[in-house]
């Protein structure tokens, strides 16, 4: 099976590459080979490569910056899947489009099921929602939504918190983190396994078009920061941890509004993919063990 992977250098892209299953002929491309904002180049890449699947892990992911770069975010997050879908319709290939819990507004206060209507709060969520719609014009496409992605490499909350714990603890200062947004951290290695399953490696490329995948459990950013400190200390990545103080979203204004509750209901997708989820704290311990020292 030939798979064209975008976002090779991103955190999910790296995890997918480190877990290439047997029998997959992977063509992994980054920004240097393809500008995802250029729809015509995306179309041509598919017509040249003729993959069985495009696994579109590349994305404009700067949630706050998207508020002032809406056109670029839309071109990357919606234009690329639209171009892939159109070209794959011609070649007979399929598309796995990654998406986000930020397509929901968080107002319902209970986990979101895959088939629920979308209501993004910010530009990033709106562009990802448009990307889903574009992808799903291809009958063989799948959308896999996930949340709060982090891993041992790349730019993410976990690696930032490790740095901040060390710096704040050394300065004898507390670390203040938002406590009124609830979701679920998802490790890149568990997400990568779900992506490979979603394109039919091992089991079920058929089944629901929209899938939800996160690690198990729920957390606030505050809970996540506390756990990163405790488990970072246990893993030997930190010598000491900072005290973590809870903040409200109002105390920490950001350009993009974020959902206050964005848990994804994953049980039907777990069944469809034939995979169990790891609790986020267990996944965090595995990620911390893999952080380069
Ligand atoms: N991160 C999260 O918390 C999160 C949560 C839910 C869903 N998701 C979704 O999960 C997927 C994977 O995210 P991730 O965390 O792995 O993101 P990431 O680490 O930011 O990686 C995204 C990759 O896309 C590339 N990219 C951005 N603009 C591009 C362009 N115009 N042309 C070519 N490449 C471009 C980036 O390249 P550069 O490094 O050169 O910019 C980067 O390598 C995305 O669809 C994202 O929306 C992420």
Question: Within a domain: residue 36?
Answer: yes
pLDDT (tens place) for every residue of the chain, 293 residues total: 999 999 999 999 999 999 899 999 999 999 999 999 999 999 999 999 999 999 999 999 999 999 999 999 999 999 999 999 999 999 999 999 999 999 999 999 999 999 999 999 999 999 999 999 999 999 999 999 999 999 999 999 999 999 999 999 999 999 999 999 999 999 999 999 999 999 986 555 578 999 999 999 999 999 999 999 999 999 999 999 999 999 999 999 999 999 999 999 999 999 999 999 999 999 999 999 999 99
Question: Within a domain: residue 144?
Answer: yes
Question: Within a domain: residue 156?
Answer: no
| CATH number of the structural domain spanning residue 135 | 3.40.50.720
The dihedrals phi and psi of 188, each to the nearest 5 degrees, come to: -65, -30
Token pair listed for 137: 């014009």
Contact 100, 145 (CB under 8 A): yes
What range does the domain containing 81 cover? 2-148+187-214
> Is residue 273 in contact with ligand 1, taking CB distance under 6 Å?
no
User: Of 146, 189, 155, which is closest to residue 19 (Cα–Cα)?
Assistant: 189
| Atom number in ligand 1 closest to CA 61 | 20
| Atom number in ligand 1 closest to CA 38 | 31
Question: Within a domain: residue 120?
Answer: yes
**Residue 249: partners with Cβ closer than 8 Å, 6 or more residues away:** 178, 180, 181, 258, 260
Annotated catalytic residues are 124
Select from 5, 7, 9 the residue to mutate for testing ligand 1; criterion: most ligand atoms less than 8 Å from CB: 7
DSSP assignments along 196-244, one per residue: HHHTTSSS-SSS-SEEE---BS-EEHHHHHHHHHHHHHHTTS-SS-PPE
Dist. CA 65–CA 178, nearest whole Å: 19
Token pair listed for 245: 């103080």
Measured in Å, residue 154 CA sits from the centre of ligand 1 at 10
Question: Within a domain: residue 259?
Answer: no
Question: Within a domain: residue 48?
Answer: yes
List residues bridging with 279 in a β-sheet. Answer: 216
Question: Within a domain: residue 113?
Answer: yes
The dihedrals phi and psi of 176, each to the nearest 5 degrees, come to: -100, 130
Select from 10, 153, 189 the residue to mutate for testing ligand 1; criterion: most ligand atoms less than 8 Å from CB: 10
pTM of the model as a whole:
0.96
Token pair listed for 143: 């959308």
Number of domains in the chain: 1
Question: Within a domain: residue 87?
Answer: yes
> Is residue 31 in contact with ligand 1, taking CB distance under 6 Å?
yes
């Amino acid at each position: 099976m030939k798979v064209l992977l975008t976002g090779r250098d991103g955190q999910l892209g790296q995890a997918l590459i480190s877990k290439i299953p047997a029998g997959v002929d992977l063509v992994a491309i980054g920004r240097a080979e393809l500008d995802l904002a250029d729809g015509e180049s995306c179309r041509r890449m598919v017509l040249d490569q003729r993959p069985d699947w495009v696994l579109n892990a590349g994305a404009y992911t700067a949630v706050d910056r998207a508020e002032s770069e809406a056109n670029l975010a839309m071109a990357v997050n919606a234009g690329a899947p639209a171009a892939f879908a159109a070209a794959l319709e011609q070649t007979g290939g399929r598309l796995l489009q990654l998406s986000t819990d930020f397509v929901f507004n968080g107002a319902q206060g209970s986990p979101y099921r895959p088939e629920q209507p979308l209501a993004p709060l910010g530009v990033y969520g709106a562009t990802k929602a448009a990307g889903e719609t574009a992808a799903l014009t291809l009958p063989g496409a799948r959308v896999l939504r996930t949340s709060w992605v982090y891993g041992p490499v790349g730019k993410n909350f976990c690696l930032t918190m490790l740095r901040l714990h060390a710096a704040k603890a050394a300065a004898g200062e507390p670390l203040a983190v938002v406590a009124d947004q609830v979701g679920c951290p998802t490790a890149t290695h568990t997400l990568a396994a779900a992506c490979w399953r979603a394109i039919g490696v091992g089991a079920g490329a058929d089944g629901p078009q929209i899938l939800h995948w996160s690690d198990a459990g729920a957390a606030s950013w505050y809970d996540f920061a506390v756990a990163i400190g405790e488990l970072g200390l246990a893993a030997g990545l930190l010598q000491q941890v900072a005290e973590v103080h809870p903040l409200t979203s109002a105390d920490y204004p950001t350009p993009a509004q974020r959902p206050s509750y964005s848990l994804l209901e994953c049980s039907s997708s777990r069944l469809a993919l034939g995979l169990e989820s790891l609790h986020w704290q267990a996944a965090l311990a595995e990620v911390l063990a893999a952080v380069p020292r």
